Structure 1
Amino acid sequence: MENRRNMNNKKNTIPRYQQIAIEIATRIASREYEVGQKIFARSTLASQHKVSAETARRAICVLTDLDIVTSEKGSGVIIKSYKNAEKFIEQQKNHLSLDLIKNNILTCIDQQRKDMDLLDKYLTDLVAASEHFRSLNPFVPFQILITTDCAFINQNITDIKLWQNTGATVVAVHRNHQTMVSPGPYLQLQENDIIFLVTQDSNPDVVNNFLYPKE
């Protein structure tokens, strides 16, 4: 049902003279008329379809050029070929199908663009909401793994002046499958420790650069 509706909508975009030519060819192909039969004059065709004489003339020209009918001034329109009428109708169906496919593709592209615009809006809203959350919650903890590359391995956080250099405070440490909360200022940094810190700007880069200075 939906495809038929789409085909009908697409048909409405075809020039009126072309629509009339298709309608006449369909009636010829269905054997509503006999080959050699005179069916109407151009003026009658224009009146039947409520179009101008020029539109009727162009419709007949299409059928004449395709050898579906013959038309001579004063003698009206005469049926010439069922086969050519059938061929013309089939071509029009294929043309409509291709146009429908192209139209569907363009519709999908347009919908994809709309979806991408909507996704971009959602991402913008998410970033704004995250920044707002951070401003309301300045002490969101983050974690850092201590490896052998740490510049202060086996040293305690008081001696290295962690807070003075970074503004960060260690609130917990995970070591040997156990988590210690508020380990105190004399916590010694050991390999494979996972330390949890808070800092007012919630930025781990400052701490990372201090613990793992770049040469």
Structure 2
Amino acid sequence: MSMQEISGYKSIALDIAQRIVSGEFPVQSKLSGRSLLAGQYHVSPETIRKAMGLLKDENIVFVSQGKEIIVISDQKAYEYITRNNYLKSAYSLKQDLQQLLLEKKKLDGKFEKLLTGIIEASDRMKNLKPYHPEEITIHEESHVVGKTIGALQFWQNTGATIIALRRGADITISPGPHVILREHDVLVAVGDEKMYQRTEQFINKNSENHL
């Protein structure tokens, strides 16, 4: 038997022991058949048989006459890999890499979703920035006194959107077009950076100047 063959099945035995210790193959679980294990490790079933022989000798697995392989001790597996100064094989490293790639994919998805949320929130804040609410008080000589919001074509004349109307201690949220404005009403409105100036000029032109 060549040194390469010995190294091959011993490495596989150590790797399977490591998988037992990690919980991938729990105690009392049945390992895949030799052909399947051979496919995983890309070796012959004979090499797997020799690897199982090593684990059987260490009382890590039990091999029945029907060739069924059952894990019987994770403690023995731990002692075995410790005694042999086990370094993970290419197979275990590949498994770890696949697991990390899977976790990375999930994290990338979460990161992308979070980033999209941040961008959307930033855009909303950016769009709202020029539209901070302003309060405009209606003077008693204003031409808007006694008229409805709709009749005044408020948005068309000012570019402002009325979000609330304060009348004394009462507040009306989003007053409708049929609300009649009175002197000393306070309009809470939003619009662009010139909204306040336009709205103030429109509202507080007196009745005579407006005629």
Q: TM-score range by the shorter chain?
A: 0.3 to 0.5
TM-score, normalized by length of structure 2?
0.37
TM-score (norm 1): 0.36
